[in-house]
Amino acid sequence: MIKQVAPAVEVTALRRVFAGGKGLRKRGPEHVALDGVDLVVDAGEVHGLLGPNGAGKTTLCKILSTVLLPSGGMAKVLGHDVVTHTAQVRTSMGIVFGGERGLYGRLTARQNLKFWGALHGLHGKQLRTRVDALLDRVGLRDRADDRVEAFSRGMKQRVHLARGMVGDPALLLLDEPTTGMDPVAAKDFRALVGELRAERRTVLITTHDMVEAEQVCDRVSLIDSGRILATESPNALSEWITRFERVDALVPPELVSRLRTLPGVGSVSTSDDGRTRFETTEEGVAAQLVRSLVEAGVTTVTTSKPSLEEVYLHVFGGNGMAVRR
């Protein structure tokens, strides 16, 4: 018999509007942070929410964690409505907000975790074992009894992660969990997400790093201006990353005009310092460009991965990426 499991996250036509302006009297125009979001995250899935600054990622996480009320639409966590059934949602969900704040600096890492664990209803031996296990797991065993205010950003981020997991949540919301981590820590973090997946936990992770999203997620939803643009597999992302590669070099003008006609070369721009940037729109074109440049005697050539903004522009068209206030 197959048990019908509710999706871990179910969001329908979700809206969130913030009052504009500052102060009580100066009511500016309303600001739409979420504009009809539909999203389903299956149980056990690692789902990425990829979007630029101001896209609405944090707003969505806050609504799912019952910290913020929606202005319209519906959101459910493990089948419980986030507005009417906050108690059930709060017991089954853990949240990690990125950044340095959100921990008690004067307390040690262990005390921080004990405090949050206690607020999740743990006590006695169970609490101690859970806290010890988590400290081990995020690699902070040796610093467990140091005050958090003396920690580096990356170490604080690990305490944040442990704090999010202290209630043994079925759903973990990670809002930009790798900000401030060095590459080694970020690699550890990817391993950790792998473990969470193996434990059949659901993870919703926000980021504006395409490579990170591609590496850790089962599916990735692209969000911008409060709307979900598409939900893709990590393969699609890696394809975009190679397809829209860019090549920068100091190139003589006549060579620029010849190369820009090559098939698969998209926009070409020359900056004030004379460097030219070629953006490619097809896989393999970057390599071809580099070859032609080297043959023409241009030796300082750099290739780089496209920014999220560029990919959005290519994939979703011109107005995909208006900088929002």
Ligand X SMILES: Nc1ncnc2c1ncn2[C@@H]1O[C@H](COP(=O)(O)OP(=O)(O)OP(=O)(O)O)[C@@H](O)[C@H]1O
Taking every pair of Cα atoms in the chain, the longest distance, rounded to a whole number of angstroms, is 75
For other proteins, how many residues bind (rule: CB under 8 A)? Answer: 35
Among residues 29, 84, 21, 73, the alpha carbon closest in space to that of 228 is found at: 73
- Minimum CB separation from other proteins for residue 130, in Å? 15
Whichever of 59 and 112 has its CB closer to ligand X, that residue is 59
53 counts as binding ligand X under rule CB under 6 A: yes
Helix (H) or strand (E) holding 94: strand 93-97
90 binds ligand X (CB under 6 A): no
What DSSP state is assigned to residue 19?
E
Residues 133-192 that bind other proteins (CB under 8 A): 147, 163, 167
- Site membership for ligand X, residue 70 (CB under 6 A): no
List % helix, strand, coil for the chain (3-state, nearest 5).
Answer: 40, 30, 35
Asked if 54 is part of the footprint of ligand X (rule: CB under 6 A), the reply reads yes
Helices (H), the chain: 57-64, 86-92, 109-119, 124-137, 153-165, 183-198, 210-216, 234-243, 253-259, 285-295, 308-316
Q: Is 254 exposed, middle or buried (0-12, 13-18, 19+ CB in 10 A)?
A: exposed
Select from 53-61, 177-185, 189-197, 278-286 the region that touches ligand X (CB under 6 A): 53-61
Closest separation between CB of residue 102 and other proteins, Å? 4
One of 9, 49, 56, 58 touching Mg ion (CB under 5 A): 58
The one segment of 5-13, 113-121, 197-205, 292-300 that binds other proteins by CB under 8 A: 113-121
The secondary structure element, H or E, covering residue 231 is: strand 227-232
CA dist 7 and 77 (Å) reads: 8
Mark residues 56-95: x for contact with other proteins by CB under 8 A, - for none.
---x--x--xxxxx-----------------x--xx-x-x
Shortest distance, position 19 Cβ to ligand X, whole Å? 7
With 0-12 CB in 10 A as exposed, 13-18 as middle and 19+ as buried, what is 193? buried
Q: Could you please report the per-residue DSSP string of 232-266?
A: E-HHHHHHHHHHT-EEEEE--HHHHHHHTTSTTEE
Question: How far is CA 99 from each of CA 145, 159, 199, 312, rounded to the nearest angstrom?
Answer: 21, 11, 26, 26
| Binding status of residue 77 toward ligand X by CB under 6 A | no
| Nearest distance in Å: CB 218, ligand X | 21
**What number of chain residues touch ligand X (CB under 6 A)?**
13
Residues 188-217 within binding reach of ligand X (CB under 6 A): 208
Q: Which of 97, 151, 189, 240 binds other proteins (CB under 8 A)?
A: 97
44 binds, among Mg ion, ligand X, other proteins, none (CB under 5 to 8 A by kind): none
Distance CA 39, CA 251 (A): 46
Site for other proteins in 257-286 (CB under 8 A): none
Query: Does residue 160 belong to the site contacting ligand X (CB under 6 A)?
Result: no
Given ligand X, Mg ion, other proteins, none, residue 54, with its beta carbon under 5 to 8 Å by kind, binds ligand X
The Cα 172–Cα 297 span in angstroms is 52
Which residues in 10-49 contact ligand X (CB under 6 A)?
18, 31, 33
User: Which CB, 7 or 99, lies closer to Mg ion?
Assistant: 99
Radius of gyration of the chain (CA): 23
Closest approach, Cβ 56 to ligand X, in A, equals 4
In the complex, the residues that contact other proteins under the rule CB under 8 A are: 16, 18-19, 59, 62, 65-69, 87, 90-91, 93, 95, 97, 99, 101-107, 111, 115-116, 118-121, 123, 147, 163, 167
